[in-house]
Amino acid sequence: MIEESIIKVSIITATFNSSRTILDTMNSVQNQTYPHIEHLIIDGLSTDNTIELIESTNFKGNIHSGKDKGTYDAMNKGIGLANGDIVGILNSDDFYASETIIKDVISLFNETGCDAVYGDLLYVDGIDTTKFIRKWISGKYNRENFLQGWMPPHPTFFVRKSVYEKYGSFNISLWGAADYELMLRFLYKNKVTAAYLPKVLVHMRTGGQSNTSILNRLRANMEDRKAWKINDIQPKWYTLNLKPLRKVNQFFIKN
pTM value? Answer: 0.93
What is the DSSP track for the chain? ---GGG--EEEEEEESS-TTTHHHHHHHHHT-S-S-EEEEEEE---SSSHHHHHHTTT--SEEEE---SSHHHHHHHHHHH---SEEEE--TTEEESSTTHHHHHHHHHHHH--SEEEEEEEEE-SS-TTSEEEEE---S--GGGGGGT----GGG-EEEHHHHHHH----TT-SS-HHHHHHIIIIIIS---EEEEEEEEEEEES--GGGSSHHHHHHHHHHHHHHHHHTT----TTHHHHHHHTTGGGGG---
Residue range 186-230, pLDDT digits in tens: 999 999 999 999 999 999 998 754 445 567 767 888 999 999 999
**Which amino acid is located at 174 in the chain?**
L
Over range 38-47, report the average pLDDT. Answer: 98
Residue range 114-155, pLDDT digits in tens: 999 999 999 999 999 999 999 999 999 999 999 999 999 999
Residue range 60-98, pLDDT digits in tens: 899 999 999 999 999 999 999 999 999 999 999 999 999
* Domains and their CATH numbers in the chain: 4-252 (3.90.550.10)
More confident residue, 56 or 5: 56
What's the pLDDT band for 246 if we cut at 50, 70, 90?
Answer: confident
